[in-house]
Amino acid sequence: MHLKNLELIQFKNYQRVQLDFNTEVNCFFGENGAGKTNLLDAIHYLCLTRSALLPLDSYHIMHGKDFFTIKGDFDLDEKILSLNCVFESHKKKRMEVNGKAYHRLSEHIGLLPLVLIAPDDTLMINGGSEERRKFFDGMISQTDNQYLQLLIRYQHYLKQRNALLKRFAEAKRADKQQLLPYDRQLIPLAQAIFKKRTDFLAEFTPYFTDHYRAISGEKEEVSIAHQSQVQKEDFPQAFESSLEKDLMLKRTHYGIHKDDYLFRLNQHPIKKFGSQGQKKSFLISLKLAQFFVFKAIKGTKPLLLLDDIFDKLDDQRIFHLMDRVAKKEFGQLFITDARPERSKEILKTISADARFFEIKDNQIYPGGTD
């Protein structure tokens, strides 16, 4: 699978640009703030229907305009898919494939797998459980559309239950019978989501540990444990008995939405006991495992987006990545870097075919301006 071209209209800092890409490596150069990451985000939109950076689509319209358009042609198993993503202010976002619009955007998730490695990935280790759930939910959703539908339904009923709990608090009176329809939906949905998360982690973990061993030189033992209230045998009873606390907190405090993934180094939380180098190795291993589990499940190589990571990695970790590029283990790569000479020097060490783009004054110059 590869992205053949990209067209942006009024997307972030780009009035209108059209780019044709190499099937192997494409590098975007420019000063910080020039708009390199915006190009990766546009690709993220085409693959996953949303931004990797900001939650609201309106944030991505060029200042002073009222819509944006992102277009791109993908070659997937020798079939051309023409994608068109349009968002107009105060209207629903529209995604079309070969001229046909989706009824639900979630139908598109998983068609074009993508892996993004970015500086903000450190939040997965240093942040709260929500960041780790988001990472695994995103992965599983790209490989299992049924999982995504379960998650959407769970969030729908959870939102309604929480709204009802708030109304009870405002009225200072609770009718517990009104909560039963939501409980009857949430409990089996939580159990189904838990099983899919557990099964996926069992498949994901060997890829992760293999990559960590390769990067670290087999110096440490790493593991990921899925922590969930749902794994308790008496979960349905525990969920129902938590009602009094829910009423006090005005929200549902028990369930699958409280899951966490415990990242451990030598049996200890890496967040507390890992060095900066160990955390970087852990993160790169997570992302490489994501790539290779996608490849195994989907039967195609995902797009790999590397956003300004050469500043964050040392030579050992860069070599590990580039060694896999040289061995043709990856498919199409998109790289951003504020220092073109560095990326060009790194890419000289491998036999990959690369195309370069320089970004300057909101314009993109294939090959550079020199």
pLDDT for res 261: 98
Strands (E), 99-180: 100-101, 114-117
- Estimate the crossing angle of helix 180-216 against helix 315-326, to 10 degrees: 90
Residue 193 contacts by C-beta under 8 Å, 6 or more apart in sequence? 147, 150, 151, 154, 230, 256
Low-confidence stretches of the chain (pLDDT beneath 70): 368-370
pLDDT at 216: 81
**How confident is the model over 237-272, as pLDDT tens digits?**
999 999 999 999 999 999 999 999 999 999 999 999
Instruction: Determine the pLDDT at residue 370.
Output: 45
**φ, ψ of residue 176 in degrees (nearest 5):** -65, -25
The binding site consists of 30-37
Q: What is the pTM of this model?
A: 0.92
The pLDDT assigned to 236 comes to 94
Per-residue pLDDT tens digits for 293-346: 999 999 999 999 999 888 777 777 788 888 888 788 899 999 999 988 888 888
Phi, psi of 87, deg, nearest 5: -130, 125
On whether the CB atoms of residues 282 and 151 are closer than 8 A, the answer is no
CA 51 to chain centre: 9
Rounded CA separation 244/277 (Å): 45
Binding residues for ATP: 30-37
End-to-end CA distance of the chain: 32
Side-chain-side CA neighbours of residue 270 (13 Å): 27
